[in-house]
Each structure stands twice: as C-alpha cells, then as structure tokens.
Amino acid sequence: MKTRKLGNSGLEVSAIGLGCMGMSFGYGSPKDTQEMTALLHGAVDRGVTFFDTAEVYGPFINEELVGEALAPFRGKVVIATKFGFDIGTDPRTAPGLNSRPEHIREVAEASLKRLKVDVIDLFYQHRVDPAVPIEEVAGAVKQLIEEGKVKHFGLSEAGAQTIRRAQAVQPVTALQSEYSLWTRTPEKEVIPTLEELGIGFVPYSPLGKGFLTGKMDQSTTFDSSDFRSKLPRFTPEAMKANQALIDLLGRIAERKQATPAQIALAWLLAQKPWISPIPGTTKLHRLEENIGAAEVELTSDDLSDIEAAASQITVEGARYPEALEKMTGR
C-alpha cells in the first residue's frame, strides 16, 4: 500500500484508510465483533495503517471494537477519533453539540481508555459548535498535545474561516469532510485553504455512502435502522436521477479494467497528493476492492473525460436533512 503525508504535519498514513463507523453504527445493527476484528486485522495485513472511529459511533462501542482489535498493532497504525457531541443517557435523544474545553478533556480521557492507547494519534472536532469559539477548542486540544495525550488536531466539516481561526491557535493536521464525485462542495473554498495552510484532507463517504459502487438503484430499500433511509439523496427518485454518475464511473471503469468504486476512489487520490479517503466497509472483498483503487492510475485524459462528463450531471437531493445540514461547513 502506498502512503501519503497529511499536509505539512508529517503524519504518514496509508493512501486509503478504513472508516469503521458502519461496523457498529449507522448502517443497521452492530456487526459481529469477531467478524469485524478479523476484518480490521485483514486491513492491517493488506497495508492499511489509517483507521477512523468516534465516541458517538454506537455510542462508544466502535472505539472499543477498534481499540481491542488494533491493540496488537499499537505504534504501527494511526487511529483517529473525534469529540464534539454531548452524548446523553437517553438513547431516544439525538446528541447535541458540546465542544466546551472541559468536555473535550473528558472525551479524550475516555477515548484513551476505550482505544487502549497512551496517546490519541488524531483528534478531530466532529462538528463545529457555534456556542464555543473555535479558538477555545483549538486551545483545549493544544493543551492535550502539550501533555502528550494527543498527537494531532483535526477538524470535521469546518468551513474555510473556521479552519483559519483554529490554525492560528494550534496547527491543524487534517480536515475530514464529505467529498466525492457527488459531493464536491469542498472544492470551492475549503481545498484551496487546506493547500495554502498545508493541511491534509480526509474525505469520508468517498463512495457516496455506497451509491458510487454501482450496486444500488431506485428499487434499493433501506431498513429504518439504516440512516440512509432518512437522507434525501437516497429516495428512489433521487437515486434514479443520479444514475448518470454511475454510468459515467462504469464507462471509465471498463476502460481501466477496474470497478466503479475503484474509479471513484482513484479520482479522489488524483485530486491532491495530501488526500487520503476513508471508505468504510464490513466485508473483506469490498476492503480489497477499495484498496485496489490505490493502484489505478488515472491519466490526465481520464480525469478530463470524468470532469467533462460530471459537469453535465446535476446531483439530485440534499446529502442530509435540513437539521443536520446546518451542522456542516461552518
């Protein structure tokens, strides 16, 4: 597996990481612990060194799974986790935002225990909290870094101005935001800001929450425990309208003797040398397919063809319901 450095930080990770959320949260009921442990070990065996989790996934059980499974590889892998939600005791309530400095410290201490590590490799603010100035957030993480409890500071779904303000207090190693051929919002302001400041970019949902694999169409249905059942972009009408993107990926995949998913990931890798996507999966054959994208070389002609075709396609449907959309891109 090829490696990449996230911006100017020196943090080196596998070109393609592994998003672990779906193993415990979001896409139906939690998967079997032994099976997911085997998958995580299989990822390490295949050269993946970059793993993404968060306290809110479950909550808590995803960090515990990742911590236990990756304990034998401590020091050889990079584990990213996140803070920024107030996880209540009532499972019927959605967590609110909470990035108060004292809460950040509490989360860090708890995550260290669940991950079974002495230091958190990369600690992201999961969503920007409008109630807490980003300077206070960055200052709290800076203190944790000085104490040796955190190595690197990250932001998730933050806008350009927030990134700049945070950077002025504590250098930001990476931004994690949704980015793919069907979510290109970061290209306008965020990616130029990251390039200017020397910050790495970690796209989540690089396969469009599964849509860009080409394995879905308007007849695909989702269980109520699958959060895609609540997303505007996954209505039958939107999936039918967005099939043009799958057709595009399929044409390029045929030319390159690859799969649509591999083309979608290779396209991301070709955008900047400091981009490391984190596709999630719970299946070994999908993991191997995703990893294979690092070997797919898209030429300038391929990229031009993709750009020309994609520019003619209007993606239908918002990526989140309005309430969640408000929590992104500040």
Check if the beta carbon of residue 212 is closer than 8 Å to that of residue 234: no
Does 54 fall in a domain?
Answer: yes
What's the pLDDT score for residue 121?
A: 98
Residue labelled with tokens 């943090």: 11
203: CATH: 3.20.20.100
Number of residues written out for the chain: 330
Residue 1: name the closest of 18, 12, 16 by CA: 16
Distance in angstroms (rounded) separating the CA atoms of residues 274 and 11: 10
Start-to-end CA distance of the chain, whole Å, equals 34
| 220: its two tokens | 């695909």
298-307, pLDDT tens digit by residue?
Answer: 999 999 999 9
* Cα-Cα-Cα-Cα dihedral sign, residues 176, 180, 186, 192: positive
| 201: its two tokens | 């970019």
What's the pLDDT score for residue 147?
A: 98
What's the pLDDT score for residue 95?
A: 83
Does 214 fall in a domain?
Answer: no
Catalytic residue among 57, 124, 179, 204: 57
Phi, psi for 201 (deg, rounded to 5): -125, 130
Distance in angstroms (rounded) separating the CA atoms of residues 198 and 162: 15
- As for how many domains the chain has, the answer is 1
Our measurement of the distance from residue 155's CA atom to the centroid of its chain's CA atoms, rounded to an integer in Å, reads 11
- Confidence tier at 125 by pLDDT (50, 70, 90): very high
Distance in angstroms (rounded) separating the CA atoms of residues 272 and 276: 9
**In percent, how much of the chain has pLDDT > 90?**
94
Does 74 fall in a domain?
Answer: yes
The pLDDT of residue 262 is above 90: yes
What's the pLDDT score for residue 89?
A: 54
270-282, pLDDT tens digit by residue?
Answer: 999 999 999 999 9
| DSSP result, 156-180 | ES--HHHHHHHHTTS-EEEEEEE-B
17: containing domain: 3-208+271-296
The pLDDT of residue 232 is above 80: yes
Mean per-residue pLDDT, 110-116: 98
Residue 16: name the closest of 214, 260, 154, 206 by CA: 206
Contacts of 40 (CB under 8 A, 6+ apart): 18, 20, 51, 65, 66, 69, 70
* Mean pLDDT across the chain: 96
35-67, pLDDT tens digit by residue?
Answer: 999 999 999 999 999 999 999 999 999 999 999
| 206: its two tokens | 């690089």
The pLDDT of residue 150 is above 60: yes
What's the pLDDT score for residue 149?
A: 98
Three-class SS of residue 109?
helix
What's the pLDDT score for residue 93?
A: 65
| 84: its two tokens | 């920024």
Does 119 fall in a domain?
Answer: yes
311-329, pLDDT tens digit by residue?
Answer: 999 999 999 988 887 777 6
> For this structure, is 57 an active site residue?
yes
Does 116 fall in a domain?
Answer: yes
What's the pLDDT score for residue 154?
A: 98
Does 254 fall in a domain?
Answer: no
Check if the beta carbon of residue 209 is closer than 8 Å to that of residue 183: no
Does 88 fall in a domain?
Answer: yes
* Cα-Cα-Cα-Cα dihedral sign, residues 160, 165, 166, 169: positive
158-173, pLDDT tens digit by residue?
Answer: 999 999 999 999 999 9
- Confidence tier at 92 by pLDDT (50, 70, 90): low
Does 284 fall in a domain?
Answer: yes
| DSSP result, 104-119 | HHHHHHHHHHHHT-SS
Distance in angstroms (rounded) separating the CA atoms of residues 321 and 330: 16
